[in-house]
Amino acid sequence: MKSRALVKFIAAVVLCVASAAVARAQDFQHTYNIGPNGSINIENVSGDVNIKAYDGGGVEVTAYKEGPDRSVVDVEDLSGGNRVELRAKYPRNCNCDASVRFEVRVPRSANFDFDKITTASGNVNADGVSGRLRLSTASGDVTLEGVSGDIHASSASGTVKVREAAGTVSASTASGDVDVELTRLEGAGELRFSSASGNVHVRLPASVDADVEMSTASGDIETNFPIEVKQDEYSSGKHARGRLGSGSRLLRISTASGDLSLKSI
């Protein structure tokens, strides 16, 4: 009996220690009641930013501080009015081993202006949200799924993936691949997809109406749309141009080094 009680006591101590560690790491949690078309701005330095739609009424933000030096990092809250504005704040000239992971939940039924969702080192992910989205990372991947609206996604070094999107989309990376699936076109904005070094693959509805420009300095071009692909005269590159429908918008796909594809869904 005594040994069983001792085991239970040790388990309780371990649970308390684990709970305390979680509490220390979870240094910021707040719910914001902003209206439709309100703005959300999150600027991170090191760590991921994850945004997900849910069936609730408020914008819920939880920031987890991680790493041996997490105690020196703060989350600066500059929110006010119809705006959520948060920044990861480090001491000046800090050579810190610390990061912040932002977990953001937004009402599924509302459109928001995600004016600046960014991190210098980490991934940015968005799932099921709608509105105006501006998402970027300097080093990491950007992944969007089931999003809709006016969407711009970019990475300086990483892969950009967009799945089951609706609206107007532009996606780019300086080093990495771009992979986009746009199931429904909305609005009249330009569609631009590019990589400086990597492959670019785009899938669009067969009814897309656009003037198409495709170019690669070193690679192949593949499409099942009625667009003529030509070899560049003085280089190993290829290009393709053509009008689909009435050409109501510009569709530009390019890479300096890599393959391109434009396929219908």
Q: If DSSP codes are grouped into helix, strand and coil, which group holds residue 25?
A: helix
Report pLDDT for 21. Answer: 43
108 within some domain: no
215 within some domain: yes
Strand 160-173, strand 142-145: pairing = parallel
Neighbours of 253 (CB within 10 A): 25
183 within some domain: yes
Q: Which residues contact 142 (CB under 8 A, 6 or more apart)?
A: 123, 124, 125, 135, 136, 153, 154, 155, 158, 159, 160, 161, 171
Report pLDDT for 5. Answer: 52
Give the residue from 42, 54, 52 showing the smallest Cα distance to 147.
52
- pLDDT tens-digit map of 223-253: 999 999 999 887 779 999 999 999 999 999 9
Report pLDDT for 107. Answer: 96
How far is residue 122's CA from residue 90's CA, in Å, rounded to a whole number? 16
Structural domains of the chain, count: 1
216 within some domain: yes
Phi, psi of 83, rounded to the nearest 5 degrees: -135, 135
220 within some domain: yes
- Domain of 215, in residue numbers: 141-265
CA 60 from chain centre, in angstroms, equals 18
> pTM for this one?
0.88
47 Ramachandran zone, left/alpha/beta (phi>0; psi -120 to 50): left
210 within some domain: yes
Distances (CA, A) of 105 to 27, 59, 153, 156: 17, 6, 19, 26
19 within some domain: no
| Residue ranges of the chain whose pLDDT lies below 50 | 1-2, 6-7, 9-25
189 within some domain: yes
